[in-house]
Amino acid sequence: MKKQTIALALLFFLLSFGNSLYGQKENKHSLGLLFGYSTIPGISYKYMPTEDFIMQTDLATKILLTGNFFHSKAKYIVLPLIEISENLFYQHLFAEKGFVTFHYMIGGGISCGLQPFQPMIWKIGSNAFAGVEFRFSSSPVSLQLDFRPGYGVLFWSEKTQNEINELWNILTPGLSRSPQSCFDWSLNFIIRFRL
């Protein structure tokens, strides 16, 4: 509760007094805190080489919680990952209401992840990207909400296979051979500070 109060107070301060820090220029770079089903907040970097084309890089820990549709024995997968993702998308101004502008985003990306614990498992994937961003004209703070449905592939070595059979059979019944396909998705909320 105390952390939430501090975070809200900081957000209020940035929104209230951001005009003197931010000015009226269009910023091409932004940094943000990424919240989702991550165990800890991640870091997000956004770059706008043109007005409507965006490149976004995210680094976060996440829990891959998914159904597995390609192998009948595995009904679900629960897997903690450290993941980096790169997304390219089109962003366009949708509406402007007072001091807030609404933008929609659509695109796609790729991701690479690693389970840092034993047994070691790698993940690569691709995803679609759809979201909205709320920008405040008098402040450098913006808020982003996005959904990323995608396809992932899990890999591990033969040496890891025995560890998976012993340790992961409870959480991931049927996760028995490499590679393993899965539905890889994320729902994210990002608080950004435009630089």
CA angle, corner 190, sides to 184 and 191, nearest 5?
170
Kindly tell me if the per-residue pLDDT of 161 is higher than 70: no
Q: What is the pLDDT of residues 88-100, one digit of tens each?
A: 999 999 999 989 9
Residue 75 and residue 63 in contact, taking contact as beta carbons nearer than 8 Å: no
Residue 58 and residue 48 in contact, taking contact as beta carbons nearer than 8 Å: no
| Continuous segment of H or E residues that includes residue 163 | helix 158-167
Q: What is the pLDDT of residues 30-85, one digit of tens each?
A: 999 999 876 678 999 999 999 899 999 999 988 877 665 445 455 566 778 899 99
- Report how far Cα 75 is from the mean position of its chain's Cα atoms: 24
Q: Is residue 86 very low, low, confident or very high in pLDDT (cuts 50, 70, 90)?
A: very high
Q: Which two tokens stand for residue 64?
A: 């891959």
Specify the pLDDT at position 19: 41
Residues of the domain holding 66 = 2-194
Specify the pLDDT at position 162: 62
In one-letter notation, the amino acid at residue 129 is: F
Kindly tell me if the per-residue pLDDT of 24 is higher than 50: no
pLDDT: which is higher, 23 or 3: 3
* CATH number, domain with residue 78: 2.40.160
* Burial of residue 28 (number of CB atoms within 10 Å: 0-12, 13-18, 19+): middle
Specify the pLDDT at position 75: 58
Residue 44: CB atoms within 10 Å: 23
Q: Is residue 176 very low, low, confident or very high in pLDDT (cuts 50, 70, 90)?
A: low
Write down the pTM of the prediction. 0.76
Query: How many structural domains is the chain composed of?
Result: 1
Q: Is residue 125 very low, low, confident or very high in pLDDT (cuts 50, 70, 90)?
A: very high
Per-chain mean pLDDT for the chain: 79
